Amino acid sequence: MSITPFISSFFDPATNTVTYLVTDLQTRQAAVIDPVLDFEPATGIASTGSADQLLAFAASQGARIVLSLETHVHADHLTASAYIKAKTGAAVGIGENVRKVQAIFDPVFGLTDQLPDGADFDHLFEDGAHIALGALDIEVLHVPGHTPADVAYKIGDAVFTGDTIFMPDFGSARCDFPGGDARQLYHSVRRLLALPDETRLFCGHDYKTTIRNENRWETTVGEQRAQNIHVRDCVDEDSFVTLRMARDATLPPPRLLQSSIQVNICAGKVPAQTRERGNPVSAGPVAHLARDTAPIVSPWQSTK
């Protein structure tokens, strides 16, 4: 019989990101999923208020954070995984296909201090890998489509979906980033929706909708299969791909795209040249990248 994890959620209104703290109540070992580093692009200054709030909550619960898990290389916020690691010693993990994302963006950014082959991360998880969190078992599910490297984490009756599927009234994640693929996303979502109907799904973002004015991020497989506006049971693959690609064509690039990717492909480490002078992106394979003009000032990394 699987053990039910204790789940606490932290919503960041600046990026609409939900960070999760998952705790094994038997051992008080805990994992953070998709922590957010606060960032102001106009000044390039990063700060740790959101992460510190999470750390303080964990301490108040007697939880010991041993893992910081990324569902993918985020393009809409900077990860606080490096800061969480510096404060707690937690190991940082992501899906092994982060190497594919690095291969796409390395020629763009030329990050001279990025370690090769994903080595900035402590763990690169294969599809189907199992990780112990105290008495809890974490199963890694490769769910590409939004990016090549997306994974979901299944812990007991809960699955943390990252940017794969959102609340039923919002639908699914965009697939127009380099390496994204709407057909892959369809099959990834169907993989999640093949789980038992009572399985709880915890989304990586929430944006409200025209019919819902409060943020929500927990749903179930059954609810998604019946109600998801993009990928409920009656929607076939071709219909989904047509809908997804049409919607993606209308979406602007995320506000923090350039800064986020440079930091997140390095497990939250701010690259040296980005700390010191910024790194505008020229036209090329990802010409639609948003430009951030200020260098990133890290509150805990030296600029030298």
If you count them, how many residues does the chain have?
Answer: 304
pLDDT at 301: 62
Distance, in Å, from the CA atom of 198 to the CA atom of 113, rounded to the nearest integer, reads 45
End-to-end CA distance of the chain: 51
pLDDT digits (tens, 9 = 90+) for 256-278: 988 899 899 999 988 765 544 44
Each residue of 207-260: pLDDT tens digit?
A: 988 888 999 999 999 999 999 999 999 999 999 999 999 999 999 999 898 889
pLDDT for position 106: 82
Q: Half-sphere exposure of 105 toward its Cβ, with a 13 Å CA cutoff?
A: 31
Task: Indicate the pLDDT class of residue 1, thresholds 50, 70 and 90.
Answer: low
Of these ranges, 97-111, 129-143, 249-263, the one predicted with the greatest mean pLDDT is 129-143
Q: What is the pTM of this model?
A: 0.91
Domains delineated in the chain = 6-277 (3.60.15.10)
Compute the average pLDDT of residues 165-174. Answer: 96
Lookup: tokens for 49: 């208020």
The side-by-side arrangement of strands in the sheet containing 17-23 is 6-12, 17-23, 29-33, 64-69, 91-95, 123-125
pLDDT value of residue 115: 79
- DSSP 3-state assignment of 286? coil
